Amino acid sequence: MLEPSADYYIQLGNLSGDAECWFFWGRAGLQSSDLMRVMPDTQSKRLRTAAYPNLDIVVAGSGTKKHVPKSTRLVAIPLLRIHAATHGESGDKTLDLDQVHAEDMIAAPSEWCPNPAYTTCLRVKGHSMGPLIHDGYIVAVDYSQTDRSELDGKLVVVWNEDKGLSISRFRRYRGVEVLEPENREYESMALGTDRAWRVIGRVLWWIGKAP
């Protein structure tokens, strides 16, 4: 059976309501973050509206429920129910992170999140990014940073239609784009020029529990 064209899916999304439009636009290969950049501010804010839990912010280690000073600014970042795989593993096939339900929230200093409206957290699966990032760690991803010319040497999350979401270090060598693992026991991977690979965003920071 032939797949409808991207233009057809976009038109269906334009005719649908807020809940259904993302399905059709996703089938056309569009992410909601792409659309947010070109929408008027009022419409963008309306589509981003979501229910966040009440946050009770306290100073860890204080021994009592001592509240943070008002001058302290924290950003509540959604932790999504998806994984980005390292080399040798397969990640979740989700392309549009905006459309994934959060399992929890993580509070981080505002200076850690230069673009909070485009920042989210997800878990890592696999071992090829060790000893820097271990299996089960949580990474914060800024999905407004997708310009490959500015990501050389940075950690990124990418998407492939077969491998799903992956985390790696992005390198450019004389025009050739490569994904490199931190653990050299795993092989690097050259990115193709087709749409099978997409840079989802830059990894800002990561956290994990001690063994």
Q: Which domains does the chain possess?
A: 72-207 (2.10.109.10)
Q: Rounded to whole angstroms, how far apart are CA atoms 123 and 211?
A: 16
* Own/partner pairs, 148-153, CB within 8 angstroms, 24+ separation: 148/172, 148/177, 148/199, 151/199, 151/202
Contact yes or no for 196/162 (Cβ under 8 A): yes
Beta strands in 25-118 (DSSP E): 74-85, 102-109
pLDDT digits (tens, 9 = 90+) for 126-144: 999 999 999 999 999 999 9
Q: Rounded to whole angstroms, how far apart are CA atoms 190 and 171?
A: 9
Report the pLDDT averaged over residues 166-191.
92
Residue 12: is its pLDDT beyond 70? Answer: no
pLDDT digits (tens, 9 = 90+) for 103-113: 999 988 889 99
Mean pLDDT of the chain: 79
